[in-house]
C-alpha cells in the first residue's frame, strides 16, 4: 500500500474514534452541539434506562447497603486430662503384706482399709503401753491420796509418769495404725502392684486411686486471650481419639503468669464425668468461643484496589465518594472491613468503571437505600 493510502486510512480510523468518543462520552454531545456538529437534544442520548447511562452526565450505578457483621473469635487447643483427685498409696512403715482387701478397678470409699501389714510387734507394744499406763495411773492416784504424808515432789513425779505412760500408749497405737494402708479419697483403684507376702518399704507403690467424677484438662492459650479467659468461661471438648464425642465444661483456673518463651499461659478446665466415660490421661481437643468485634460488611463486588490499597465507592448526596477500607474477614457473600462506614450506607457495586471522586451518580436499583 502506498504511503498516502496508509495516511488516509489512519486519518479515517482516528476520525471514527473521535466521533465515537464525542457521541458516547457524558459531555461529548454538548461539545458537538456547541460546534454545530450534532443537536443537543434528548433524542440524541441513549435510553435513560440503559446500563451505564445517565441524565445530565450522572453515572448510573447499583448500590448495596452496608451491613454490620461480627468477627467471631475462637480458640482451639490440645490438652491432657487428669482426675480431679488422684493419689498413689505408699506404706508409712516397712513390713510384710498380710491382707489386700481390694482388686484392680474396684471402687473404694474414703477410709477403707486397702492393705494390712504384719502388725504383731506393734500389737505387743500397744499392750505393754496399756499395762504401763495402768500402773502409772494407780501410782499417781495413791500418791495423791497420801499427799499429806509424802513430799510434793513424789506426787508430781507420779503424775509425770502417768502422762508419759499415756504418751507411750498413743505412740504405740499410732505405730499400730500405720500397719494399715487406708484410702484417703473415694475413687477407683488402679492396678494393684503387690501381693500378699510381699515385703514393702516406704517407697513401694501399692495402688493408685483416681476420683474421676470430673476430669481436669490443662491446655496452653496464647497471651492475646489473657483478659478474655476467666474462671467459669464455657469450654467445649472432644476426644482426639473420638472427635464425635463432645463434652461441655467450664474454666476452673487460670495461671497467673505468661510463659516468656512461648507467650502462652496455662488454663485448667473442668469437665463433669458422671457417666464415667472419661479417663485420666486422655487427650482432648478444646474449643472456646468469644464475642467478637463488629465491623461494617460490604458486598464483595464493592471492594476495589489501587496503588494505596483497598477502597469502596459510597454514594453520598448524589455523588461518588471514595472510602478507604482495611479488609478484616472475607466470606462468600460479605467482606468485613475496618472503615468509616455506617450501617445502611449505600456502597456502589456496579457501574464502578466510570466513577471518579465527587462525580455525579444516579441509583438504578429500585428499593436500595440512598
Q: Confidence class of residue 42 from pLDDT cuts 50, 70 and 90?
A: very low
Strands 95-100 and 113-117: antiparallel
Is 370 contained in some domain?
no
Instruction: Provide the edge-to-edge strand list for the sheet that holds 180-182.
Output: 180-182, 113-117, 95-100, 199-200
Location of C-alpha cell 513424789:
154
For position 6, what pLDDT does the model report? 67
Residue with the larger pLDDT of the pair 249 and 26: 249
CA 221 from chain center: how many Å? 7
Whichever domain contains 277, its CATH number is 2.40.30.170
Cα 179 to Cα 114: distance, rounded to the nearest angstrom: 11
> Which one of 166, 200, 234 terminates a domain?
200
Q: Are both 30 and 103 inside the same structural domain?
A: no
- pLDDT beyond 70 at 4: no
> Which one of 292, 319, 337 terminates a domain?
292
- pLDDT beyond 50 at 122: yes
Q: Are both 219 and 316 inside the same structural domain?
A: no
- Pick the range with the lowest mean pLDDT from 54-68, 113-127, 143-157, 327-341: 54-68
Residue with the larger pLDDT of the pair 5 and 210: 210
Q: Confidence class of residue 225 from pLDDT cuts 50, 70 and 90?
A: confident
- Pick the range with the lowest mean pLDDT from 65-74, 184-193, 305-314: 65-74
Residue 21 CB neighbours (<10 A): 11
Whichever domain contains 186, its CATH number is 2.40.50.100
Q: Confidence class of residue 253 from pLDDT cuts 50, 70 and 90?
A: very high
Is 205 contained in some domain?
no
Cα 185 to Cα 182: distance, rounded to the nearest angstrom: 9
Whichever domain contains 317, its CATH number is 2.40.420.20
Percentage of the chain with pLDDT > 70? Answer: 84
Is 369 contained in some domain?
no
Range of the domain at 264: 75-82+210-292
Q: Are both 39 and 97 inside the same structural domain?
A: no
Domains contained in the chain, number: 4
Number of helices (H), then strands (E), in the chain: 4, 19
Q: Is the pTM of this model over 0.75?
A: no
Cα 135 to Cα 123: distance, rounded to the nearest angstrom: 19
- pLDDT beyond 60 at 194: yes
Is 23 contained in some domain?
yes
Amino acid at each position: 500500500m502506498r504511503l498516502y493510502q496508509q495516511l488516509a486510512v489512519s486519518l479515517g480510523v482516528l476520525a471514527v474514534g473521535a466521533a465515537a468518543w464525542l457521541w458516547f462520552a457524558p459531555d461529548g454531545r454538548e461539545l458537538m452541539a456547541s460546534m454545530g456538529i450534532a443537536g443537543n437534544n434528548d433524542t440524541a442520548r441513549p435510553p435513560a434506562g440503559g446500563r451505564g447511562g445517565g441524565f445530565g452526565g450522572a453515572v448510573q450505578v447499583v448500590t448495596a447497603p452496608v451491613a454490620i457483621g461480627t468477627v467471631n473469635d475462637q480458640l482451639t487447643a490440645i490438652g491432657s486430662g487428669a482426675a480431679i483427685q488422684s493419689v498413689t498409696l505408699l506404706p508409712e512403715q516397712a513390713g510384710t503384706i498380710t491382707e489386700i482387701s481390694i482388686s484392680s478397678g474396684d471402687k473404694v470409699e474414703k477410709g477403707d482399709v486397702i492393705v494390712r501389714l504384719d502388725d504383731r510387734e506393734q500389737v505387743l507394744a500397744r499392750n505393754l503401753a496399756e499395762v504401763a499406763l495402768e500402773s502409772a495411773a494407780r501410782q499417781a492416784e495413791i500418791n495423791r491420796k497420801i499427799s499429806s504424808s509424802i513430799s510434793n515432789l513424789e506426787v508430781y513425779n507420779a503424775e509425770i509418769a502417768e502422762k508419759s505412760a499415756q504418751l507411750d500408749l498413743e505412740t504405740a497405737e499410732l505405730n499400730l495404725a500405720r500397719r494399715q494402708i487406708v484410702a484417703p479419697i473415694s475413687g477407683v483403684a488402679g492396678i494393684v502392684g503387690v501381693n500378699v507376702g510381699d515385703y514393702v518399704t516406704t517407697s513401694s507403690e501399692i495402688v493408685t486411686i483416681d476420683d474421676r467424677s470430673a476430669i481436669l484438662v490443662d491446655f496452653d492459650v496464647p497471651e492475646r486471650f489473657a483478659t478474655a479467659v476467666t474462671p467459669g468461661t464455657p469450654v467445649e471438648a472432644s476426644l482426639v481419639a473420638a472427635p464425635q464425642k463432645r463434652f461441655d465444661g467450664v474454666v476452673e483456673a487460670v495461671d497467673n503468669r505468661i510463659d516468656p518463651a512461648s507467650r502462652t499461659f496455662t488454663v485448667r478446665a473442668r469437665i463433669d464425668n458422671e457417666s464415667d466415660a472419661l479417663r485420666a490421661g486422655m487427650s482432648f481437643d478444646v474449643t472456646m468461643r468469644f464475642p467478637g468485634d463488629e465491623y461494617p460488611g460490604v458486598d464483595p463486588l464493592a471492594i476495589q484496589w489501587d496503588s494505596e490499597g483497598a477502597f469502596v465507592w459510597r454514594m453520598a448526596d448524589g455523588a461518588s465518594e471514595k472510602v478507604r477500607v482495611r479488609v478484616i474477614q472475607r466470606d462468600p457473600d460479605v467482606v468485613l472491613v475496618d472503615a468509616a462506614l455506617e450501617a445502611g450506607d449505600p456502597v456502589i457495586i456496579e457501574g464502578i468503571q466510570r466513577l471518579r471522586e465527587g462525580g455525579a451518580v444516579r441509583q438504578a436499583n429500585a428499593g436500595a437505600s440512598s
